[in-house]
Amino acid sequence: MTIEDQLATLTMPAPDGVSEAFLLGSGLADGYATFESPIGDVLVTFNLEGVSMVDLPDRCNGHFAERFGRSLIEAEPPKGWASKIDKAITKGTPGALPVDLRSVTEFQQMVLGQTAKIPKGQVRSYSWLAQRVGKPNATRAVGSTMARNPIPLIVPCHRVVRSDGHIGNYSLGGPDRKTELLNHEGTDPAWLEEMAIRKVRFAGSNTTYIFCHPTCSYARRTTESHTVEFRSETEAVTAGYRACKVCTPGS
């Protein structure tokens, strides 16, 4: 089935006497449009609250119906949103784009809010996110939140790795797509996997005595001869290093 055929299956005609404009304006249906991304075309759905889902064209209709129970209608995004959607996909953060996260719990909204702050080209772990939302024992729930993220690429769950440092799965097409996105952003997932195998979690500088997440922009500036690797926060602190105030390493 071609992408054109897949898109055709998404168009849900309005019942007799009911306009598509009414369905969209009343919240009985969401609009959808196609946008380019680093992993190919994606469908972005939206309503008056904001962008509600980002998914692959061949599965969006089923996923959307399962999550929302509403129809999808091909439509232009609200005025000014198209450029904001393009920018959000490119930067991997919502920015000024309204998003609709009503399909997830309050806890999941908090986790996704922190996920949206992870800089492009960097990664953080499930356990780091759990710490950031004040629920240090909720690592598994954070992993579930990444799987439930309705707007991947815009809320960049591809920048979240397992607590042991391994890349992990990805809801928008699996680990291969996650690797593709991380490579696109210059993160070097092969390097991350190699460190995970060696159980390296943090990188310190023996000139500043500061330790960071290995992908932190400050850690990446440290030359190899001045880099000290640590397997845990405790190991780094015991060695006399303090945590970076920018990337806030820990767990």
Q: Of 51, 66, 91, which marks where a domain is finished?
A: 91
Residue 164 placed within a domain: yes
Indicate the residue among 70, 91, 112 that finishes a domain: 91
Number of domains in the chain: 3
Q: What is the pLDDT of residue 95?
A: 95
Tell me how far apart the alpha carbons of residues 197 and 191 are, in angstroms, rounded to a whole number: 10
Q: What is the pLDDT of residue 18?
A: 52
Q: Which residues pair with 74 in a beta bridge?
A: 32
Active-site pick, 157, 216, 244, 247: 157
If asked whether residues 245 and 214 sit together in one domain, one would say yes
What pLDDT is attached to residue 80? 94
| Same-domain pairing of 82 and 126 | no
Is the same domain home to 139 and 187? Answer: yes
**157 tagged catalytic:** yes
For residue 124, the Cα-to-chain-centroid distance in whole angstroms is: 11
CATH code of 216's domain: 3.40.10.10
- pTM for this model (two decimals): 0.89
Residue 133 lies in a domain: yes
Q: Which amino acid is at 99?
A: V
The answer as to whether 33 is a domain residue is: yes
Task: Give, as one character, the DSSP assignment of residue 27.
Answer: T
Residue 85, domain member (yes or no):
yes
Cβ neighbours of residue 48 closer than 8 Å, sequence gap 6 or more: 24, 25, 27, 78
Q: Is 38 found in the same domain as 20?
A: yes
Instruction: Give me the pLDDT at residue 8, please.
Output: 40
Print the domain residue range for 142: 104-197
Residue 21: per-residue pLDDT:
67
pLDDT averages per 10-residue partition of the chain, 251 residues: 39 50 72 95 95 92 87 91 97 96 96 97 96 95 96 97 94 95 96 96 96 95 96 96 93 58
Q: What is the pLDDT of residue 40?
A: 95
Residues 212 and 228 placed together within one structural domain of the fold: yes
Distance CA 162, CA 138 (A): 13
Of 91, 122, 148, the one marking the end of a domain is 91
d(CA 96, CA 126): 26
Burial 183-210 (b: 16+ CB within 10 A, else e): eebebebeebeebbeeeebbbbbeeeeb
Here the tokens at position 128 are 């780091």
The answer to the question of residue 74 being in a domain is yes
